[in-house]
């Protein structure tokens, strides 16, 4: 027997809602889109304006300071290899998208994470939303991004921000909540205000955990930026996407390897930030 219950029109409702949003708010999103795309293009142009060897030196220098000699050497060699493969421009594009998306994600995620750590109620609202954001297949974010922001890098970075923010929020909240109770008590006992407690005790103690969250956000952003090539984000993901469409395994592997190298550099460098923040003092 077939029950004749009509299908719940979830897809239809969603479409109508999105249409309405698009019609009424696209002026705002288009404006935002315009600003963001100008910013992205400016950064890409700026980075490409520098000779590649100089940029490689700068990256290696940063890697040296943050993570030591081995990571610096690896970064330099990896980037030189990408330059040699004639993948310099897409690499810079991808890096810029990751950078922008991560900055936005941290700018949103850090305050939200702090709020979730300090207020149980906020946490109860935020955490299920994060579950939703993380389990929804990433591709789905791409579809509505297009009517709002148009094809291209901006849509890609919006989808990326949605996909990549949760770890920063979660780990910021976790890091703050993990501060031992007796340190909180000590801070209170000396008459700290809530703000002093947050900035002098909780946040400094949470830095390693927060940085682990930021590191994850960067990795997720990188993976999403590649997927976002499907809506015209360009960069290394674009190379992969082209290779798929033209069935060129060699080119695909080359671009794929470039993503791996970029990922490793970003991971190793950011993993070590926040750990080595204590250098003075003798035993």
Partner 1 sequence: MQKIKIEHLTKVFGPRPEQALRMLDEGASNAQIRKTGNAVGIADVSFEVEQGELLVIMGLSGSGKSTLLRCLNRLNPSSRGSICIDGDDITRFDREHLLELRRRKISMVFQHFALFPRRSVADNAAYGLEIQGVDPAARRQSAVEALELVGLKGWEDSFPDQLSGGMQQRVGLARALAVKSDILLMDEAFSALDPLIRRDMQQELASLQRRMKKTIVFITHDLDEALQLGDRIVLMKDGRVVQIGTPENILNHPADDYVKRFVENVDMSRVLTARSVMGRAPEVAFPQDGPRTVLRKMTESSDTSILVVERDRTLVGMAMLDELAKAVKDGRQSIDELIQRDAPAIGPDTPLTEIINLMATWPYRLPVVDEHRKLLGVVTRPQVIDALAQNSTTDAAAEQARNAAV
Which positions touch partner 1 (CB under 8 A)?
180, 182-183, 185-193, 196, 200-201, 204-205, 207, 277-278, 280-283
In the complex, least distance from residue 180 CB atom to partner 1, rounded to whole angstroms: 8
In the complex, least distance from residue 119 CB atom to partner 1, rounded to whole angstroms: 18
In sequence order, the 6+-apart residues with CB closer than 8 A to the CB of 209 are 171, 172, 174, 175, 178
Query: Residue 66 or 231: which CB sits closer to partner 1?
Result: 66
Query: Residue 4 or 182: which CB sits closer to partner 1?
Result: 182
Query: Residue 22 or 272: which CB sits closer to partner 1?
Result: 272
Query: Residue 7 or 279: which CB sits closer to partner 1?
Result: 279
In the complex, least distance from residue 203 CB atom to partner 1, rounded to whole angstroms: 10
Query: Residue 105 or 211: which CB sits closer to partner 1?
Result: 211
In the complex, least distance from residue 274 CB atom to partner 1, rounded to whole angstroms: 11
Query: Residue 72 or 187: which CB sits closer to partner 1?
Result: 187
In the complex, least distance from residue 216 CB atom to partner 1, rounded to whole angstroms: 22
């Amino acid at each position: 027997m077939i029950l004749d219950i009509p299908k719940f029109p979830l897809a239809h409702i969603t479409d109508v809602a999105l249409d309405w949003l698009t019609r009424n708010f696209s002026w705002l999103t288009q404006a935002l889109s315009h600003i963001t795309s100008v910013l992205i293009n400016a950064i890409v142009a700026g980075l490409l304006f520098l000779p590649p060897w100089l940029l490689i030196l700068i990256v290696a220098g940063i890697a040296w300071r943050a993570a030591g000699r081995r990571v610096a050497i690896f970064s330099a060699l990896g980037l030189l290899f990408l330059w040699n493969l004639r993948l310099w421009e897409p690499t810079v594009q991808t890096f810029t998208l990751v950078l922008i998306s991560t900055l936005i994600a941290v700018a949103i995620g850090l305050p939200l994470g702090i709020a979730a750590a300090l207020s149980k109620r906020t946490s109860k609202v935020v955490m299920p939303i994060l579950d939703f954001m993380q389990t929804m297949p990433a591709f789905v974010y791409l579809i509505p991004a297009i009517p709002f922001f148009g094809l291209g890098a901006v849509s890609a970075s919006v989808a990326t921000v949605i996909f990549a923010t949760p770890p920063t929020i979660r780990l910021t909240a976790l890091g703050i909540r993990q501060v031992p109770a007796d340190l909180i008590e000590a801070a209170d006992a000396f008459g700290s205000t809530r703000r002093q407690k947050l900035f002098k005790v909780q946040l400094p103690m949470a830095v390693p955990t927060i940085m682990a969250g930021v590191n994850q956000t960067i990795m997720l952003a990188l993976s999403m930026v590649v997927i976002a090539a499907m809506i015209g984000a360009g960069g290394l993901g674009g190379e992969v996407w082209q290779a798929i469409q033209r069935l060129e395994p060699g080119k695909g592997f080359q671009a794929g390897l470039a993503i791996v190298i970029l990922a490793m550099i970003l991971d190793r460098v950011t993993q070590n930030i926040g750990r080595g923040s204590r250098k003075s003092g003798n035993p």
